[in-house]
Amino acid sequence: MAKEQLEPSRKKRGTDGRQRKRNLQRQKGAQGVQEQQSTESPKAETASLYTKVLKVTQRQRAKWRPLPKSSREHLESTMHWLITSLLYKTAENHTEAEKHLNLLKKRLLKSLENLQVPMEKQSSLKNAHSFLAKEKTKSAALEDGLAELQDEIDKVVQAAEFREETIQRLQKEVQELKCELAAEEATASKLFYKDGNHGLALPDFSKDSLKLPILQNELLKIKNQQGLLNDLNTLQKSEEMTTMSAFLEEAYENVDSLQSETVR
């Protein structure tokens, strides 16, 4: 009797556990459906915002014409390049994929042959022509501006090249002047010698020159002093004497400048 009473109680417990598991699974499934609906609802709302349904009447549809050949050729070339890019990326079943894609392309092109599309309005074509004319004028103005800018750039480049040539020429002249100055200094060093105090000095006079009579005493011995003065004035005002005095003054200036440089 005890065994018979225990067995129904065990069966009852097993059925209760299974029922609980089923209820939990149902609750989880309902929550998943709700979450999916909540995630999909914003997408549907945003899609509805950007989509707009246009109603076409029979009168408007009667004005439709087949798709132009140029548009079909453009679509065919676009599909060709898309198929080529897809086949380049696929590594396996290359031939099968190519056959399938070419078949889809043929079916699409065949459907496009009978496709009716609305014709463009004449006003839009006029607007396109006016827009194209405006763009042409803008491009012409830009080309003119670029030409002027190129001319200015060429002028600046020419000026820079001229300045560079002038700088090089001046550098050569400065180098030549430096060489001339060095040669003059060498000749001056031969003519003058320096003493121990780094000063320029004249060469020593010979003893015989000191024994000669003074020129002033010799001039005083001449009886016609007035004629002598006239002769001396004539000599002093002569061209040879002026050049000699100018040469001596320049020589003294050069000596002074050399002496100042040696002191520095």
Q: Which residues neighbour 73 within 8 Å (Cβ) at sequence distance 6 or greater?
A: none
Q: Which residue has the higher pLDDT, 205 or 236?
A: 236
Q: What is the mean pLDDT of residues 203-229?
A: 72
Using alpha carbons, list the distances in angstroms from residue 264 to 199, 254, 261.
11, 16, 5
Q: Which residues neighbour 76 within 8 Å (Cβ) at sequence distance 6 or greater?
A: 105, 109
pLDDT in tens, 230-264: 888 888 888 888 888 889 888 888 888 877 776 66
pTM: 0.29
The domain ranges of the chain are 1-53, 65-119, 122-191, 200-263
| Helix or strand (DSSP H, E) at 87 | helix 69-89
CA distance 247 to 254: 11
CA distance 84 to 88: 6
Cβ atoms of 69 and 113 within 8 Å: the answer is no
Beta bridge partners of 208: none
pLDDT beyond 80 at 199: no
pLDDT in tens, 130-156: 788 888 888 899 999 899 999 999 999
